[in-house]
A and B are shown apart, each in its own frame.
Chain A
């Protein structure tokens, strides 16, 4: 245990926690956007897996990291389009069709992986971008300012998302559609179009988050995310549907995962107890959900309710 409490190990752990929180953050920000418009987008984990695989595959075949991330986001957007058609045009129940998307992503990413790659070939991981000056601050620099570009992008997206939701006309539409779709509709806001946009953005971010995960790890395997996408959904509840709240939750979960990993490496957790520690994020999620359940007043009133004019 004393090995853990040395400056260098602690700094490395925090740094890895920030890195690990990025996929959570990207997916949860997107999910926040969708939920504010009244859509419970449950396929996140499957979409992340698809984004992860196709991002990984692109880097494997073309050795272009940026293209990998873009492909991940694009695959996510396509899945978002499918989900939008199913839930908005066909009014399918959001919860169950989301699980369908999840299963598809789970199966299809594994299928493609086995068919096209087979063995876990390593790829070039994302390189570090040092922020000039700030990166040289002792400790803090290593913790916060020596990460790959996608980490900064995710952090920058937090205020951007908050601005879009709270300060723009479109954000106002999103909120009104999520709270009282009938009123929004009567004022000429297209519920369907607004929700379609949030769904596509949410899934593109989920795909990007998946790609970021695969490229950070520099590999892909079957069920790489292991429920990370579902935790991201829980983080939206945890963050009370606010981008800043989601950021706090993501950092917390990234840190927990990093601490568990670090303890495994240092041998503080050995053998069989390591698998018990692996479930820490999941257990934490259940506990967090139970604790915050009472103050769910921030939940968009029309969440999961399909909209049909005149009904």
Chain B
């Protein structure tokens, strides 16, 4: 792909790797990009495990970001120990609500969740554009007359502490990893998580087993949305400007994390813990793509296009693997059956010989 754009792929690739993993600062940048991917990816693991396809990460990130921003604007004077958990919780609530809407629509009305979540993405971005242009706009922007759609600098008490001196690595990385581990515990170590996966494995079977399928569907999208909402809060309070800013476009604030998180989760085989390295990989890809853009003038949107291809390949290869496994299972069955035939034959032979030897 790079070749067709008339640049050296080797230069591009080395710039990409260097830019993503070349040093302390680069690694920190990669981790920062990986945080929202991991959070969204974790949410995707939860919903996809219940066979609910959540494409609404973008909107849920925005909803989480908005609710957490409003929280920080409402109670800016709380001490950091209270305010930081409060804004994180607000993100969870905002994203959760934005996920619960399509969840309820699917569970109780049978509305296709893929379509409703995508439509809600568009709605969320426009709500954000409206809020940042009018009610939530930084008063200084009105005074100056520049009217950039952004909030004022949010309370410093809500700033995420920097974990590694000299870099921008902040608290969000801990939040993201804890969330991924929590999702793993939820999915594989709790009864509700088991039920949720049972719904994903077979809705009818789950229903016969007495599992409330509708409630599980709603829960899957709500939980998935909360994770994305958390990503929204992390994006706002971990940002360098410490504001919520929009450029009016659909992916300006989120940086397509709502879509790229799906890629990371699929790459991590829909397992929250495997999604951690997958998110780091794709975070590195995004940071590296920017470095590559600077080095060999290839637009960074290459990363989005490549992610699309990755999704297609991963999905295709998953079903190939499944088919191979079925074929292998079939062969194993055949072997087993022929083995048992042989054994039965032996047994028959033995009885026959036994009979023959009988006087």
Contact = CB atoms under 8 A, between A and B. Distances in A.
Interface of A: 42, 46, 82, 86, 90-93, 95-97, 99-108, 110-111, 114-115, 222-223, 226-227, 230-231, 233-234, 237, 271-273, 275-276, 278-279, 282-283, 285-286, 289-290, 293-294, 296, 306
Contacts of A275: 126, 129-130, 133, 248
B229 to A, nearest CB: 19
DSSP class of A's interface residues: helix, strand, loop or mixed?
helix
DSSP class of B's interface residues: helix, strand, loop or mixed?
helix
Interface of B: 5, 53, 55, 105, 109-112, 114-116, 118-123, 125-127, 129-130, 133-134, 248-251, 259, 262-263, 266, 298-299, 301-312, 315-320, 323
Residue in B53, B127, B130, B302 with the greatest tally of chain A CB atoms within 10 Å: B130
A73 to B, nearest CB: 21
Nearest 3 A/B pairs, CB to CB? A107-B304, A104-B308, A100-B311
A276 B248 CA distance: 12
Contacts of B312: 82, 86, 92, 97, 100-101, 104
Contacts of A271: 133-134
A289 B115 contact: yes
Contacts of B122: 226-227, 279, 282
A290 B306 CA distance: 34
A107 B311 contact: no
Given A92-B315, A286-B116, A289-B112, A105 B308 contact: yes
A107 B302 CA distance: 6
Nearest to A106: B304
Contact of A103 (B115, B250, B298, B305): B305
B105 A92 contact: no
A108 B116 CA distance: 25
Contact of B119 (A100, A278, A283, A293): A283
B119 A286 contact: yes
Given A93-B319, A100-B312, A278-B129, 11 more contacts: A86-B315, A90-B319, A96-B266, A103-B304, A105-B308, A111-B304, A222-B249, A227-B122, A234-B119, A237-B112, A286-B105
Contacts of A273: 130
B315 A290 contact: no
A82 B315 CA distance: 13
A105 B189 CA distance: 39
A89 to B, nearest CB: 9
A259 to B, nearest CB: 16
Contacts of B251: 223
Contact of B105 (A233, A272, A293): A293
19 contacts: A99-B262, A103-B263, A103-B305, A104-B312, A107-B303, A107-B306, A107-B308, A110-B301, A111-B302, A111-B305, A114-B299, A227-B119, A273-B130, A276-B126, A276-B130, A279-B123, A290-B105, A290-B109, A294-B110
